[in-house]
């Protein structure tokens, strides 16, 4: 039996319609993921207690670092497969897809073993309190045990997106997340397994998503169809994956480190400031979801048209992606600027925290579009096969800029809003450099 025949050939037809049709499932998937994460936290916090929730949240950065690295690395495979699809090189597309699947599974297993082995030292390094250390360690080890499955799903979803089908990954993501919530209620609420139950539900859901995406790849009529007997490494394509994906993986790993340094400075201003910043992180999630969705869309669109040698269409698609995301993020920024207080009250009732939320949104709300330009342009440039220079621009323009701001500028005026000013400053610098790079070199 075969299924999943529909795809979007982004090298033909209406540019705007094709971009929106492709981007919308990605955006819905990230929004759904955000909703699930919130529900998951509510279940743990209410049914187990604040200690269990604190144990899970305390290792959030540790659990995401290897995942971010591999997702960045595998995005190189997605771009390469997109280029082959646009160029209609069927043999290369098939070989690259088979290589990507075995690469994800074997690489995920290797990363899984390393991450589990290093977990105790990493948890000690970030000074997790002793009373939640054992729970944090147990959660981390079980969570990492599902990494091979998680990587397999991510690469499978990337393969489908590479050939223009962004809906299938959305369906599997929804199915896995629904299972996660149900198992959370069962393992945590009924069987009282605590953080171990929460980690097990995540691991089982990751396995489900991996099985579903592999089944879909083996039964599809699309050109990315996988034959399990033909899965093996094609070192030509493996080399292409590393050449393009390694800089993205390094960027995805180092980026959170600069944010951790900023968070350390925020922590110095006390509980109210920390709470206000956390609330803003819940309110502005659409900014990041919209931008990331159109970054992925720009990368896939440019890659397909680059492979098809339709360079004018690739540039047009990049401009439309940039325009749609700028307008969307500007609307979200305006809403957050004018309605930050009533929106903040949905999450907290403390008057001082609400006042700080309003101050933060009045600073950042009008400036979110600065972030969009750099992210969407970097995605488009990666789609044409260049990832090293975008990595350098992002790390220097965003990460280094924020660290230098905290070390050199904040001591001159040590206020809460001055610390947060590093974000729009770094967004503006990064976007400006990307514009220069695009206009005077890359095209």
SS3 of 308-362: the string is: CCCHHHHHHHHHHHHHHHHHHHHHHHHHHHHCHHHHHCCCCCCHHHHHHHHHHHH
Residues 256-262: contacts with CB under 8 Å, at least 24 apart:
256/61, 256/64, 256/65, 256/68, 257/399, 258/398, 258/399, 258/400, 258/402, 258/403, 259/402, 260/61, 261/402, 261/403, 261/406, 262/402, 262/406, 262/419, 262/422, 262/423
pLDDT of residue 150: 92
pLDDT of residue 1: 43
Q: Are residues 9 and 60 in the same domain?
A: yes
Q: Are residues 311 and 385 in the same domain?
A: yes
Q: Which two tokens stand for residue 428?
A: 């503006």
Torsional sign, CA 177, 178, 179, 180: positive
Boundary of a domain, candidates 233, 268, 295: 233
Which candidate, 210, 206, 218, places its Cα nearest to that of 97? 218
Q: Which two tokens stand for residue 191?
A: 């069987």
pLDDT of residue 94: 94
Q: Is residue 249 part of a domain?
A: no
Q: Are residues 160 and 297 in the same domain?
A: no
Q: Is residue 244 part of a domain?
A: no
* Helix 50-58 / helix 15-47 crossing angle, nearest 10 deg: 140
Boundary of a domain, candidates 170, 200, 233: 233
Q: Which two tokens stand for residue 54?
A: 């604190």
Torsional sign, CA 65, 370, 275, 32: negative
Q: Is residue 240 part of a domain?
A: no
CB proximity list for 404: less than 8 A, separation 6 or greater: none
Boundary of a domain, candidates 199, 233, 267: 233
Q: Is residue 243 part of a domain?
A: no
Dist CA 213 CA 215 (whole Å): 5
Helices (H) and strands (E) in the chain, counts: 19, 0
| Number of structural domains found in the chain | 2
Q: Is residue 247 part of a domain?
A: no
Per-residue model confidence as pLDDT tens digits over 103-162: 999 999 999 999 999 999 988 877 778 888 899 899 999 999 999 999 999 999 999 999
Q: Are residues 116 and 158 in the same domain?
A: yes
pLDDT of residue 421: 95
pLDDT of residue 2: 46
Cβ burial, residue 260 (10 Å; 0-12/13-18/19+): exposed
- Measure Cα distances from 372 to 315, 328, 442 in Å: 17, 10, 19
Q: Is residue 239 part of a domain?
A: no
Q: Are residues 86 and 121 in the same domain?
A: yes
Q: Are residues 126 and 196 in the same domain?
A: yes
With b for 16 or more beta-carbon neighbours within 10 A and e for fewer, the 343-377 pattern comes to bbeeebebeebbebbbbbbebbbebbbbbbbbbbb
Q: Is residue 250 part of a domain?
A: no
Domain span at residue 19 reads 1-233
Q: Are residues 207 and 173 in the same domain?
A: yes
Q: Are residues 163 and 24 in the same domain?
A: yes
Q: Is residue 60 part of a domain?
A: yes
Q: Which two tokens stand for residue 20?
A: 């929106």
Q: Are residues 280 and 141 in the same domain?
A: no
DSSP letter assigned to residue 443: -
Mean pLDDT of each 10-residue bin along the chain, 443 residues long: 57 89 90 75 77 76 83 89 93 95 94 93 81 90 93 94 91 90 91 91 93 94 89 93 91 80 79 81 89 94 93 93 96 95 82 90 95 94 91 91 93 92 95 91 64
Element (H, E) at 172: helix 167-184
Q: Which two tokens stand for residue 77?
A: 């495979």
Q: Are residues 224 and 288 in the same domain?
A: no
What's the first-to-final CA gap in the chain, in angstroms? 45
Dist CA 434 CA 53 (whole Å): 39
Residues in the chain: 443
Q: Are residues 88 and 223 in the same domain?
A: yes
Q: Based on C-alpha coordinates, what's the Rg of the chain? A: 22
Quick check: pTM over 0.85?
yes
Q: Are residues 265 and 201 in the same domain?
A: no
């Amino acid at each position: 039996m075969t299924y999943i025949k529909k795809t979007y050939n982004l090298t033909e037809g209406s540019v705007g319609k094709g971009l929106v049709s492709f981007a919308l499932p990605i955006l819905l998937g990230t929004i759904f993921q955000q909703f699930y994460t919130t529900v998951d936290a509510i279940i743990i916090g209410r049914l187990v207690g604040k200690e269990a929730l604190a144990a899970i949240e305390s290792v959030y950065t540790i659990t995401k670092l290897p995942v971010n690295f591999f997702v960045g690395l595998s995005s190189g495979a997605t771009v390469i497969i997109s280029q082959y699809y646009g160029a209609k090189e069927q043999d290369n597309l098939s070989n690259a897809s088979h290589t990507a699947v075995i690469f994800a599974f074997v690489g995920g297993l290797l990363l899984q073993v390393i991450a589990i082995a290093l977990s105790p030292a990493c948890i000690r390094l970030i000074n997790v309190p002793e009373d939640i250390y054992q729970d944090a360690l147990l959660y981390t080890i079980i969570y990492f045990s599902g990494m091979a499955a998680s990587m397999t799903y991510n690469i499978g979803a990337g393969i489908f997106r590479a050939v223009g089908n962004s809906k299938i990954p959305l369906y599997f993501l929804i199915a896995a997340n629904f299972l996660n919530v149900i198992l959370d209620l069962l393992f945590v609420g009924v069987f009282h397994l605590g953080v171990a139950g929460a980690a097990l539900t995540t691991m089982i859901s990751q396995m489900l998503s991996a099985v579903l995406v592999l089944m879909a790849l083996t039964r599809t009529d699309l050109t990315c169809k996988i034959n399990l007997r033909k899965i093996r490494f094609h070192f030509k394509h493996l080399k292409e994956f590393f050449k393009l994906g390694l800089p993205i993986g390094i960027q995805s790993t180092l980026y959170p480190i600069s944010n951790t340094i900023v968070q350390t400075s925020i922590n110095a201003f006390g509980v109210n400031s920390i709470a206000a910043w956390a609330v803003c992180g819940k309110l502005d999630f659409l900014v990041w979801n919209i931008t990331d969705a159109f970054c992925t869309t720009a990368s896939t669109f440019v890659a397909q048209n680059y492979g098809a040698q339709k360079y004018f269409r690739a540039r047009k698609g990049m401009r439309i992606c940039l325009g749609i995301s700028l307008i969307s993020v500007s609307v979200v920024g305006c809403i957050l600027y004018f309605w930050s207080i009533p929106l903040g009250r949905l999450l907290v009732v403390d008057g001082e925290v609400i006042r700080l939320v309003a101050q933060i949104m009045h600073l950042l709300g009008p400036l979110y579009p600065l972030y969009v330009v750099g992210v969407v342009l970097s995605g488009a440039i990666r789609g044409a096969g260049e990832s090293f220079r975008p990595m350098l621009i992002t790390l220097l323009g965003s990460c280094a800029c924020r660290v230098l701001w905290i070390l050199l500028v904040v001591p001159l005026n040590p206020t809460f809003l001055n610390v947060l000013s590093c974000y729009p400053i770094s967004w503006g610098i990064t976007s400006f450099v990307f514009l220069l790079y695009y206009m005077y070199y890359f095209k």
